[in-house]
Amino acid sequence: MMKHKHVLQYINQHFKVKLILSLSIIITICSLVTGYMSYQMNLNLFESEISKQYLKTSEQTIEQIGFKIQDIYRITDFVIFNPYVEQIVQNMHVKPAPGESVEYRNFMLERNLANVLQPLKNETTHIRAVYIVDLQGHNMYFSQENPSIQLQFPDFYERVKQGMSHSSAEIAWQRMNISDFYEPSGEKSSLVAARWLKSTEQQTVYGMLILIIDEQYFGSALDPLMAGQTAGAYIYDKYDRLLYSREPAGSPGFEPAPDKGPGSFIEHLDGNDYLFVKSEYEPRSFTLVSGISLADIKAKGRTVYHLALAFGLVSIVLMAVSVSFFSGKMLQPLQALVRAMRRVREGNLRTTIPSTSNDEFAFLADSFNKMVADIQSLIQEVYVSKLSEQEAELKALQAQLNPHFLHNALNSIYWKIMLLYDDEETAALVTSLSDLLRYSLAPVSTLSTLRDELAQIRNYIRIQEARHGDELHVSIDAPEELLSCRMQRLLLQPLVENVFVHAFLDQTASKRLAIRVSRQEADMLVEIEDNGNGISAETIHRLLDDRTLYDERGERERLGVRNVLRRIYLVHGASYGLEIRRLPQGTLVRVTLPCETDRMEERGTANDAHSAG
């Protein structure tokens, strides 16, 4: 059991082995299907071709048998239509002349009949005996080539008569066992051809002509059909009576049903299939049925099937060798990718994969290199962010200043200025600074709205107006229905602060700042426009392209813009963001945010009430 688990584990861990096994299964299935289809196709083809050839041979054979049958008709016609034969047979029943004995008269008539029938003996050697009998079955004449034939009349006449029609002038063919003391069994199967003798004038039957013919008379014509794995050949008369059969040596044969139509058909016996063909000799309605075994054909088909399986096994071996040989080069990029991923898992983030091709493996290599670079960037971001937090915390600890203490101190200054100096302008600045400080020190997760953001921007601008004087002109335009749109805290303040830090750095007069809020379908647009020093295209590209918070040159002023870009991207996705455009005089910053107002107004009111308390 453990051994099987190790084998399965080995297969699962090696792509090459799984590839070889998969291809082996596919090739095996294809070989089985192809072999079986080839076997069936060849079997059908062989059966069709052999059926055609065998049927053609059968038709030629039945034609030869037909010629032999016609010879028998010609011979019997010579006897039947010979008036002298009729006269001799009729005289045998007439009273002899005075002074002439019956025996002498019959002897002379039989001798004359023998002279008339003498040519029949030279017609064919397969006619073993010829008999002429009267209607009572008395033998009027006989000629025997073989004296071993012993027939008893009128008993034999009655046997022959049972298989004949009383009115037909055709030859009645029968297969009978004739007594023959030369045979070990005492009998020999022979063909009996009988025909009624009729007078030419009155057309009355006066006797019967009986021919005993050796079976080989038909058998010699069947030699072409008996070559090969034959199941036998069978000849039937028009009444479907078996006249002659010939089976292969050492086999009992297989006699099919004679009622099949002309053509070929399949018969089954003892698990074997036999192809039989049936041919007819139409002039005399004789039928020849012969069969051949399909065992050799199926054996050839199985040979094709086995060859297909053998080729399949050879293909599997060649495939395994080819995969093992070529996979070293083909899968080399994949192995390099696996090694690189292992090094990354061990902590080596400086791993890269060289791209050596233009296929899918090159895409994987480029994707892996980009992934490692992104991981390094994210780690660096998190690391720098952590350092920034630690730096802020260190400064806070060094200052030893509690935000609440600072807020309370500013409130004390405010009341002192108002009570002692009655300076409302300075007191308003202190209030703005105090509100701005309180808003900035709230947790980042605290919900805010556009109304709150603009309120803090006004506090910040109030402080800047005290610094810049009448040279500063600020306008804020925001529709009332957009003031409830929620947004992140301190998202607009860094952008406004950059105007005073950079745009108005060297400008002494006519400083104009405009903040406009508008709706664009389901989004909110916030535009911050100034008439300051402007910004270069290179700086715009660097600000918008670099999404990290890492400030390698210590330019902290750019950290605010990156912070805004990063926060919008993380919260709202790539569909929203920041656009910076250089104007002929100044800069335009456009912020695109979703306008969401669900339950934000109530929350903002609740926060204001809590702060007031």
Share of the chain above pLDDT 70, in %: 69
pLDDT of residue 15: 61
Q: Mean pLDDT throughout 16-23?
A: 70
Q: Mean pLDDT throughout 128-144?
A: 80
Which of 337-341, 363-367, 595-599 has the weakest average pLDDT?
Answer: 595-599
Share of the chain above pLDDT 90, in %: 8
pLDDT of residue 318: 74
Provide the 3-class DSSP secondary structure of residue 166: coil
Contacts of 21 (CB under 8 A, 6+ apart): 11
Judge whether residue 484 has pLDDT over 80.
yes
The model's confidence at residue 611, banded by pLDDT at 50, 70 and 90, is very low
Classify residue 29 as exposed, middle or buried by CB count within 10 Å of its CB (0-12, 13-18, 19+): exposed
pLDDT of residue 516: 95
Judge whether residue 234 has pLDDT over 60.
yes
pLDDT of residue 422: 58
pLDDT of residue 524: 93
Higher pLDDT, 89 or 421: 89
- Only one residue has tokens 């030699």, namely 223
Q: Mean pLDDT throughout 548-568?
A: 62
Judge whether residue 73 has pLDDT over 70.
yes
pLDDT of residue 85: 80
Q: Please report, for the chain, how many H helices and E strands are present, in that order.
A: 16, 17
Q: In which region does residue 228 sit, left (phi positive, over 0), alpha (psi from -120 to 50) or beta (all else)?
A: left
pLDDT of residue 251: 65
Ranked by mean pLDDT, the top range of 205-209, 340-344, 405-409, 510-514 is: 510-514
pLDDT of residue 133: 86
Strand spans (E) along 254-298: 263-269, 272-281, 286-293
Which of 263-267, 394-398, 488-492 has the weakest average pLDDT?
Answer: 394-398
Judge whether residue 398 has pLDDT over 50.
no
Higher pLDDT, 567 or 418: 567
pLDDT of residue 299: 63
Q: How far apart are CA 483 and CA 450, in angstroms?
A: 5
pLDDT of residue 551: 47
Q: Which amino acid is at 133?
A: V
Q: In which region does residue 203 sit, left (phi positive, over 0), alpha (psi from -120 to 50) or beta (all else)?
A: left
| Torsion sign (Cα): 53, 54, 55, 57 | positive
Q: How far apart are CA 469 and CA 95, in angstroms?
A: 179
- Residue 39 contacts residue 305 (beta carbons within 8 Å): yes
Evaluate if pTM is beyond 0.85.
Answer: no
Judge whether residue 397 has pLDDT over 50.
no
Q: Mean pLDDT throughout 250-258?
A: 64
- Residue 277 contacts residue 58 (beta carbons within 8 Å): yes
